[in-house]
Amino acid sequence: MNKSLRITRDSTLTATRRLVIDAIWRTQHALVLSHRDPDADSLGSALALGEALENRGAQATVAIDSPELIAPPLDELLDVNRVLPLTAELADGQYDTVFVVDTASPALLGAESSLCEAVFRDRTVVNVDHHASNRRYGTINYVEDIAAATAEVLWVLFSDAGISCTEKMAVNLQTGLVGDTIGFQIADTSARTLRAAASLMESGGLTHKTPRRVLNARTIIAARLYGAALAEVQSTADGRIVWTSVTHDLVATVNARVEYSHGLPNALQEIVGAEIAAVFYEIGASATRGSLRSTSYAINGVAERFGGGGHQLAAGFTIDQPIATARRVVLDQLEKLLDG
Ligand SMILES: [Mn+2]
């Protein structure tokens, strides 16, 4: 790879876009990565980029941490069989370029930091994202924080590069757009997001069916878990903060897995008077994952305080604490944010 690819941080977006497109055209064997606990955007984007690279004759390996945990409906909607686990063996592969999509920091890849270092070492790292909190850890950093989804960023890149979307790529990108915008409902949805959606529809990305499948489709076990978690919803006295907890006990009661509980943060946000919604997931005896949503408060600062990140109105974190402790410290910070 060309040394000039290293000067990117201060380039304009347009110049950086050229560098990414160059990297897409030049790579012979690419490793495409995205964050752990993947969502529709991270998976759809990684798969679409993998296919775009293959269609132009490169080899592309798509990998994430623990792909076996990908739960319905994503595992049916997308070709998750081609996603490999991100392991130490992958670091030994003959990749010239590592593309990382939708991932604000390498820590979110989930692998130990030594593994990330080994995967990145001596390779061009192309970081394509839409999170304002992106740490610019790549050789090339293309971060468009005005984009509603990484899928939208990729659509822009592909259009600019003259890379046409196959039907499968269009379905993958449309899935990402719908997932991150909650069916084009969030404020980041722009005219360009809708242009991307229209263009992807013309390429075969289903528009009317995708929202229902990405956002609302649940297996019966997932529906039971969803109901059980909603039945446990709590709120502060003024009703401005609402939360629920997906504990091991709750998950066991309905015979589910914690990964089946998608959609809860958005559901809590629908509660009248709620300005901040939080969902706490017990993922171990002393580890708790959290998702935060808000209609008007920038909650990403609270997520970052606990080692996480995300967007102003949608963010997440993982804390090495039992769920009761994690909940207490996070709710305390959220109350301070509202009082602030
Ligand atoms: Mn995203």
Instruction: Delineate the domains of the chain, giving CATH numbers in brackets.
Output: 3-214 (3.90.1640.10), 220-339 (3.10.310.30)
In 208-295, the DSSP E strands lie at 234-235, 241-246, 276-284, 287-294
Q: Please count the other Cβ atoms lying within 10 Å of the Cβ belonging to residue 337.
A: 18
CA 132 – ligand 1 centroid, Å: 11
From residue 334, alpha-carbon distances to 131, 182, 306, 337 in Å are: 21, 23, 12, 5
CA 193 – ligand 1 centroid, Å: 13
CA 29 – ligand 1 centroid, Å: 24
User: Which two tokens mark 281?
Assistant: 């997931």
In tens digits, the chain (340 residues) has pLDDT values of 333 333 344 457 889 999 999 999 999 999 999 998 899 999 999 999 999 999 999 999 999 998 988 877 787 778 889 999 999 898 899 999 999 999 999 989 987 888 889 999 999 999 999 998 899 999 999 999 999 999 999 999 999 999 999 999 999 999 999 999 988 988 889 999 999 999 999 999 876 667 677 787 888 999 999 999 999 999 999 999 999 999 999 999 999 998 888 889 989 999 999 999 999 999 988 999 999 999 899 999 999 999 988 888 889 999 999 999 999 999 999 999 999 8
From residue 97, alpha-carbon distances to 30, 131, 207, 217 in Å are: 5, 21, 32, 36
Is 278 in contact with 294 (CB distance < 8 Å)? no
Single pTM value for the model:
0.82
- CA 138, 97, 2 angle in degrees (round to 5)? 80
Q: Please count the other Cβ atoms lying within 10 Å of the Cβ belonging to residue 89.
A: 9
Peptide bond into 73 cis (omega under 30): yes
Residue partners of 220: CB distance under 8 A and separation at least 6: none
CA 40 – ligand 1 centroid, Å: 8
CA 238 – ligand 1 centroid, Å: 32
CA 38 – ligand 1 centroid, Å: 10
Q: Please count the other Cβ atoms lying within 10 Å of the Cβ belonging to residue 80.
A: 17
